[in-house]
């Protein structure tokens, strides 16, 4: 059913909600999880994969920590870092590499906040044909 689940992480406390929600699903479906974080700071947006910054170092360590947690629970997991605008990069990843489900936490901003802050989840769900699981974090 869900051979590959893409779990997007933004490096905030909302990540725990989607990680904990997807763990039993991945175990039940014997899924592989790909963790994706999009670095979107100045260096990441300017230099892409060639960027060297504190943000990139911290993001890489964070992804590895979550990947190791999943692996320790018997879940096949891989971590990837992308660079740029989160919504654009998630859509690009899905179209290029493919998955069976995209799982994302949302911050639960209202419509006006989404207009000013942007909403990767809104962009993703309107741009891909893969099922999207959105979990509003507390």
- Is residue 54 left, alpha or beta, with left meaning phi > 0 and alpha meaning psi from -120 to 50? alpha
Q: Compute the distance between CA of residue 35 and CA of residue 131 in angstroms, rounded to an integer.
A: 16
Q: What is the domain partition of the chain in residue ranges?
A: 6-108
0.85 cut: is pTM over it?
A: yes
Residue 92 in tokens: 């690009």
Answer for the pair 36, 93: CB distance below 8 angstroms, yes or no: yes
Assign domain 6-108 to its CATH superfamily. HUPs (3.40.50.620)
| pLDDT by 10s per residue, the chain, length 138 | 899 999 999 998 889 999 999 999 999 999 999 999 999 988 888 888 888 899 999 999 999 999 999 999 999 999 999 999 999 999 999 999 999 999 999 865 554 444 444 478 888 988 899 999 999 877
């Amino acid at each position: 059913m869900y051979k590959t689940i893409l779990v997007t992480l933004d490096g905030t406390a909302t990540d725990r909600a989607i990680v904990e929600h997807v763990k039993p699903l991945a175990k039940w479906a014997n899924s592989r999880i790909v963790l994706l974080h999009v670095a979107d700071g100045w260096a990441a947006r300017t230099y892409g994969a060639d960027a060297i910054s504190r943000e990139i170092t911290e993001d890489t360590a964070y992804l590895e920590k979550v990947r190791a947690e999943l692996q320790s629970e018997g879940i096949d997991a891989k971590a990837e870092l992308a660079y740029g605008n989160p919504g654009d990069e998630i859509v690009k990843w899905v179209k290029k590499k493919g998955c069976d489900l995209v799982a994302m936490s949302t911050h639960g901003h209202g419509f006006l906040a989404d207009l000013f802050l942007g909403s990767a989840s809104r962009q993703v769900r309107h741009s891909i044909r893969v099922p999207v699981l959105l979990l509003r974090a507390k």
